[in-house]
């Protein structure tokens, strides 16, 4: 496994969805298209658990390492679990939530 995620922050503002007192798990993959248009996807990153203890609902901002070794057409897929109460282990079943 690899870990390209460097940090995750819970911030408040418009579009807040992570309830106070809850947590989620994330994994990230690196993707690109091959010469024939086929999807090439890396193994998932290490699991990152983000807990919201801010006092109100918030959204998650994730930072990652952008290496010179990545091809220019590389994109990221972000997978996330459902919310669970803090102190509970989030599910290993993750859902694709973004492709950037």
State how many domains the chain has.
1
Q: pLDDT grade, residue 90 (50/70/90)?
A: very high
pTM for this predicted structure:
0.87
**Those residues with Cβ within 8 angstroms of residue 61's Cβ, 6 or more apart along the chain or in another chain:** 8, 9, 10, 11
**Those residues with Cβ within 8 angstroms of residue 3's Cβ, 6 or more apart along the chain or in another chain:** 45, 46
Range of the domain at 86: 5-99
User: Which is nearest to 35 in space by CA: 76, 71, 78?
Assistant: 71
- 20-75, pLDDT tens digit by residue? 999 999 999 999 999 999 999 999 999 999 999 999 999 898 887 777 788 889 99
- pLDDT exceeds cutoff 80 at 1: no
Residue 10: both structure tokens together: 């819970």
Q: pLDDT grade, residue 81 (50/70/90)?
A: very high
Report how far residue 33's alpha carbon sits from residue 75's, in angstroms, rounded to the nearest whole number. 9
């Amino acid at each position: 496994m690899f870990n390209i995620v460097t940090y995750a922050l819970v911030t408040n503002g418009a579009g807040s969805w992570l309830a106070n007192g809850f947590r989620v798990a994330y994994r990230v993959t690196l993707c690109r298209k091959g010469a024939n248009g086929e999807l090439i996807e890396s193994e998932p990153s290490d699991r990152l658990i983000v807990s919201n203890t801010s006092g109100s609902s918030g959204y998650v901002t994730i930072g990652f390492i952008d290496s010179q070794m990545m091809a220019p057409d590389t994109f990221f897929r972000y997978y996330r679990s459902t919310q669970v109460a803090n102190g509970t282990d989030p599910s290993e079943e993750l859902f694709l939530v973004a492709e950037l």
